[in-house]
Every structure is written in structure tokens, then in C-alpha cells.
Structure 1
Amino acid sequence: MINHEIKINFEEYTSVEELGQADKELCLEAVKALANSHSPYSKFRVGVAMRLQSGKILHASNQENVAYPSGLCAERVALFNWGANHPNDPIETMAITAHSDEFLLTKPITSCGACLQVLAEYEKKQGRAIKMLLYCQQGAVWTATGIESFLPFLFFEDRLNN
């Protein structure tokens, strides 16, 4: 038997005020994206702001549907928008925040497994890692570069590209 251990690295800031100006602004843009969330069932809004290499910022939010699971998470809304409209302008940084109408969030939220796998696909597609900012409006910000920090066992099979 061989025992393996996986370690991840991320930085934790106690508030958005500790970030550099560009990252702070992107987190606040993610808050703005919450306004367009369609989440009448979960009452859990998620907002995303992505900064592209050109400086352009894309906004996205979760979109629920009464015919669950027909909705889509904010991260995939953002990534599919990028893939369809801006594929030659690499994603540099992605900020994610959330708000619940039912309870107070006290730590950053993380992306679901499906969103992490899509993030992995788009990192591979653009040939570079994406800096992630997970922002809790009432507290900490977690930062990491590269999706492997969140999903160490990515699914990739290079022979599928043939």
C-alpha cells in the first residue's frame, strides 16, 4: 500500500479591505452581480465577476428554474458567456460571492464540483491558471491561483482530444 497526501494552498484575508485595489474592486463587482440572480426557490444568490486580460469585466449570477436542475450556477453562467463571446481574451481573475435571504453567511462559499470541472476545462483551454477570489461580504476572502487548489483530482483524458 502507498499512502498519498494532498495539500492545498490558499491565502485568507480577514476582509476585502486587505486586498490590493484590483482584487477589491473585482469582489465588489461580484456583489453587483447578485442583483441579477434568479433564485426564488433557494433564496441563495451567487454573483461572479471575471476580469479578462483586456481589463474587461464580465458579470454573472445563478439562474434557477422551477424544473430543477434546469438552472445554472453563476460560475458556469460566467464561463459559458466567456467561452461563447470572449474566448481569445484570457480570464485572469474570478471573484465569487453569495448572499442568503434565509441566513447569514460567515465564510466564503466554494464552487460546486460541476463548476470546478468547467473551470478546469477553461483553464486548460486558455493555457493558464485563473486566480480565484472567494469573498464573504461579512468576513474573509480566500484566494488561490489554479483550480487544482479546489479540485485536486481533475478529470482529464488527453486522448479525448484526438
Structure 2
Amino acid sequence: MSNETLTTPTPSPADAGDHPDLSPAASQLRIATFRLARRMRTQRAVDSMSDGQFAVLAALRVHGAHTLGELAERERVSAPSMNRTVNCLQESGYIVRAADESDGRKVVISLTPDGEAVVEETARRRDAWVEASLAELTPAERGTIAAAAEIMQRMVDR
């Protein structure tokens, strides 16, 4: 994104002054957010790992062991799709499947130490990239980014 700031254009006649037309600002924010996310995703510990595979590892790290169905629901994919992802991660040694201690009919999926290491190293690399990028900004720009991060978090939490 350039050094331009997000601006709210003047209201259109259809808005009758009540609400400004936010479409241009929304598009600019969407594009910048996706480009930033894409750039951050390139910072990973395992280059061959897909974003979906890493998301499963991260979910297991943050939320603990899950069943296949719970993972599929969390990641909003079908159970067969999640099964393929889990199989690949298991073959790579990043996760294990085990019988649920409280219900032996269920199979829970959890991280291995290698899976933990991938999540930790990827987070470290992404944080380092963001930190280096922030270091190139002025203190005022860093303040603006910090304020925007808080606002964006509120948007996500709705």
C-alpha cells in the first residue's frame, strides 16, 4: 500500500448526508489487508506447507486437541477435505491421532513436538518480518498502525 491514508469520500446524493460512501475506503482496506496477509504468509518454517495445513497446526496449538469434525468445522471445510489435510500432516510427522481418553470411540488429533516447532518457528519468522517492517516506519506511522490494529481487532470481534 502506498503512503496514502484511507479517506472517506464525501457523501453521495443517495446517502443524503447520513452516511458517507465507504466503498472506496472499504476496497482500499480490503486490498491492503489481503496483500499484507499474503506477504506475511510467505514467512513460514516449511515452504511446502499450505496455508490450510498451517492453519490446522495453529488451531491445534491454540485450542488443543480436536476431533476431525471439530477441525473441519473450525476451519470451515468439509470432513473429507480436512481428512486429506490431517493425513498429509500426519505423514509429515506434525500431528498424531489417538483414541480420546474419555470416549474411546472418538479419535483426537494433536500436535507432535515437530508440529509445535513448525508453529513456533513460523510465528517467530512472521513476527520478525513485521518487526523489521515496523522499524522502517516513523514513530507516528507506528502509532497509526497500533491504533489501526486495535480498530481492526474490534471489527473482527463483532
Q: TM-score w.r.t. structure 1 length?
A: 0.25
* Higher relative contact order (Cα pairs below 8 Å, separated by 6+ residues): 1
Instruction: Answer 1 or 2: which has greater helix percent.
Output: 2
Instruction: Answer 1 or 2: which has greater strand percent.
Output: 1
